[in-house]
Amino acid sequence: MADVDGDGTREIIMVGDTFWGSAQYPAGTYCLNSQTGGLKWVFRQAFGTTSAKIMELDGNGTLEIVVGSKNGAVYCLNGSGGVVWSRYIG
């Protein structure tokens, strides 16, 4: 949990993977409001998500979310779920 969007409230970042049987949370990275559990945004990944890590990467004072995909891609997301960069690492 971390305040990834800078609104003063921590969010829950979780990954969903349809390969493991969750129809409610298909493959992707999810941001949930920690106080209500409501969905704030989702970043869909067709091949399944392996993990997510929250950290400050670029020195601008905001947190980024780094997620891996089962197809060998790595994505860096901003606090709104937008892609900052992506790389295929195989």
37 domain-assigned: yes
* Spatial distance between the Cα atoms of 37 and 87, rounded to a whole number of angstroms: 31
Tens of pLDDT, residue by residue, the chain (90 residues): 999 999 999 999 998 776 545 566 577 899 999 999 999 999 988 777 788 999 999 999 999 999 998 888 999 999 999 999 999 998
Task: Answer whether residue 2 is part of any domain.
Answer: no
Per-residue model confidence (pLDDT) at position 23 = 60
Predicted local confidence at residue 25, as pLDDT: 59
Distance (Å, whole) CA 90 – CA 74? 9
Per the domain annotation, does 34 fall within a domain? yes
CATH number for the domain harbouring residue 16: 2.40.10.480
Number of domains comprising the chain = 1
Query: What is the value of pTM for the model shown?
Result: 0.86
- The backbone torsions φ and ψ at residue 54, rounded to the nearest 5 degrees and listed phi first, read -105, 130
Q: Does 65 reside within a domain?
A: yes
pLDDT of residue 43: 92
Domain membership of residue 29 (yes or no) is yes
